[in-house]
Structure 1
Amino acid sequence: MTVEPQPYSGPSRFVHWAMAFLILLVMIPVGLIMVNLPDGEPKNTLYELHKSFGMTIFALAVIRVAIRAVEGFPPLPSSLPPWQAIAARSTHLALYVLIFLVPALGFVGASMCCSPVNYFWLIPIPLEFSGGMERGETVLTWHKGAVLLMGAILCLHVAAAIWHGFVRRDGVLERMLYGRR
């Protein structure tokens, strides 16, 4: 029996693209700029934005997992060779782990060294971790390493989506696009 690609639900697609937008077009550029600025108000502002959007991404990750728990994963097309199905599931699992791990490490590291952590300057987040500057910097180094790993896996994810959409034309890419079946 042939399994045709099933589209993701509207809420699933919305959260996917909201996270993609925030990670690729906000977090990465802001992160790269802020670490290369001299100390001062512009750098502090970008750090606050980075932390706040990171907390937003963490909240979206929770929503995304809740959607998955309710809906499950749409089946992959049966035309995929087994190794590609394993690669797809492994890549998605790694991304799910990293969409929690990256912001969690960032929050813990920032809380250790640079407390308080506020959400868009307005809402203090009362969860604090002790450890001081040295431990905080160690955790933030892990955060950077997890970001690099996430970037590599995202490149693989995007390359696979493009390959499915424009080379194989097997409907896999269309599952996550709006208005496509």
Structure 2
Amino acid sequence: GSAGTDSVVHHQTVYVCRDPRDVCVSYYYQFIKLHGYNNTFNHFVQLFLDELVLYSPFWQHILNFWKMRHEDHILFLRYEDMTKDLAAVVRQVAAFLGRDVNEEQVSWLTHHCSFEEMSKNPAVNYETLRMAPTQEAKEIKFMRKGKVGDWRNHLTKEQQKAFKQWTLKYLQGTDFPYYQDYE
């Protein structure tokens, strides 16, 4: 056969999902920083839940990668696991990429890939992006906190309930085991 018809070339993909409540909060600040969003957080939450922000639909995206998680070219990770044990995730990624790493390398990579170090790295922290549309946007750090559970400082009880209903609507009947145990 001709090139491209006998086999499909798959690039290796490391896919990281995160609690959608934390994604929403983080995304709100990113939208201010990069796009000049100037409406309220409450309005943004509704846009997020209505799937009217870029990169929507949220759950469809995650569930599509979840279904592919057993394929050789997909590594499915959770941000929460990265914050709990980054060294274990470094080992997992290295194994996925077919790389042998010793403990010294794991230690170096864990330090280099920590939130604290990444937030100082101009290659990933967007701090050199000076075209922020407003003064408020210029003052917001692209890599803000990197914490799990910061949604607790932002979402109202009603919004938390809306997130739970929205999540269960999409996850009901799936084998996706995360983020269904909302408080």
Is TM-score (shorter-chain normalized) higher than 0.5? no
- Using structure 2 for the length normalisation, give the TM-score: 0.27
Larger fraction in helix: 1
